Chains A and B, each alone.
Chain A
Amino acid sequence: MTIRDRTAIVGLGATPYYKRGRSAPQTLDELVGKAIIAAAADAGLEVTDIDGFAYFAGGFDTGALVETLGIPEVRYTATLTGSGGGSAGAVGLAASAIVSGMADVVVCVGGVQQSTLRYGAMPTSYAPSPESAFYQSAGLVGPGHMFALLARRHMHLYGTTREHFAEVALSTRANAMTHPAALIRKPLTLDEYMAAPLIADPHCLFDFCLESDGAVAVILTSAERARDLKRKPVYVHASAHGGAGEWGRSLYWMNMPDETFASSGHAAVAKRLYAASDVGPGGIDVAQIYDHFTSQVIMQLEDYGFCGKGEGGPFVASGAIRFDGGSLPVNTDGGQLSGGYIWGMSHIREAVEQLRGCAANQVPGAEFALVTGGPSNIPVSGLILRR
Chain B
Amino acid sequence: MDQRMAKRPPESLFHLVTDAWTKPFWDAAAEGRLAIPRCADCGAFRMPPTPFCPHCRSQGLDWVAVSGRGTLYSYSVVERAIVPDMAQAVPYVTAVVELPDAGGVRLITNIVDAQIGDLTVGAPVRAVFDRRADGVAVPRFVLDDAAP
Chain A residues packing against B (C-beta within 8 Å): 118, 120-121, 124, 128-142, 144-145, 148-153, 156, 197-203, 245, 253-255, 261
Contact = CB atoms under 8 A, between A and B. Distances in A.
Interface string B7-40: 0111001111111011000100000000000000
A134 B76 contact: no
Given A129-B17, A139-B89, 12 more contacts: A130-B22, A135-B108, A138-B95, A144-B82, A145-B76, A148-B76, A152-B75, A156-B74, A198-B80, A200-B79, A203-B76, A254-B108
A128 B17 contact: yes
A301 B13 CA distance: 35
Given A133-B17, A149-B74, A254-B96, A139 B79 contact: no
Nearest to B26: A133
Contacts of B22: 130-131, 133-134
A136 B48 contact: no
Contact of B80 (A124, A197, A245): A197
A327 to B, nearest CB: 31
A140 B109 CA distance: 9
Contacts of A151: 76
Contact of A200 (B15, B76, B121): B76
Interface string B44-81: 00111000001000000000000000000111111110
B1 interface: no
23 contacts: A129-B17, A133-B16, A133-B22, A134-B107, A138-B9, A139-B8, A139-B9, A139-B14, A140-B94, A140-B108, A148-B76, A148-B94, A149-B94, A153-B73, A153-B96, A199-B79, A199-B82, A200-B77, A201-B76, A201-B78, A245-B54, A255-B46, A255-B47
Given A136-B13, A254-B106, A141 B75 contact: no
B14 A133 contact: yes
A141 B92 CA distance: 12
A144 B94 CA distance: 11
B83 interface: yes
A149 B105 CA distance: 16
A245 B52 CA distance: 14
Nearest to A149: B74
Contacts of A137: 14, 16, 108-109, 138
A149 to B, nearest CB: 5
- Which 4 pairs across A and B sit closest by C-beta, in order of nearness? A139-B9, A148-B76, A201-B77, A156-B121
B128 interface: no
A197 B121 CA distance: 22
A146 to B, nearest CB: 8
A141 B121 contact: no
A118 B86 CA distance: 15
Nearest to B107: A134
A153 B98 CA distance: 13
A197 B75 contact: no
A118 B82 contact: yes
B80 A199 contact: yes
Interface string B74-118: 111111101100100100101110000000011111100000000
B21 A124 contact: no
B76 A124 contact: no
Contacts of B10: 139
B80 A136 contact: no
Contacts of A124: 13, 83
B17 to A, nearest CB: 5
A131 B19 CA distance: 9
A130 B50 CA distance: 10
A201 B117 CA distance: 12
A145 B94 contact: yes
A140 B138 CA distance: 14
A136 to B, nearest CB: 5
A134 B74 contact: no
Contacts of A150: 74
A152 B107 CA distance: 16
B138 to A, nearest CB: 5
Contacts of B83: 121, 124, 141
Most buried by A among B77, B108, B138: B108
Given A138-B108, A254-B108, A128 B82 contact: no
Contact of B13 (A118, A141, A149, A156): A141
Contacts of A149: 74-76, 94-96
A202 B96 CA distance: 15
A162 to B, nearest CB: 13
Contact of B74 (A130, A152, A203): A152
Contacts of A203: 76
Nearest to B86: A141
Nearest to B77: A201
Contact of A136 (B14, B26, B96): B14
A152 B95 CA distance: 10
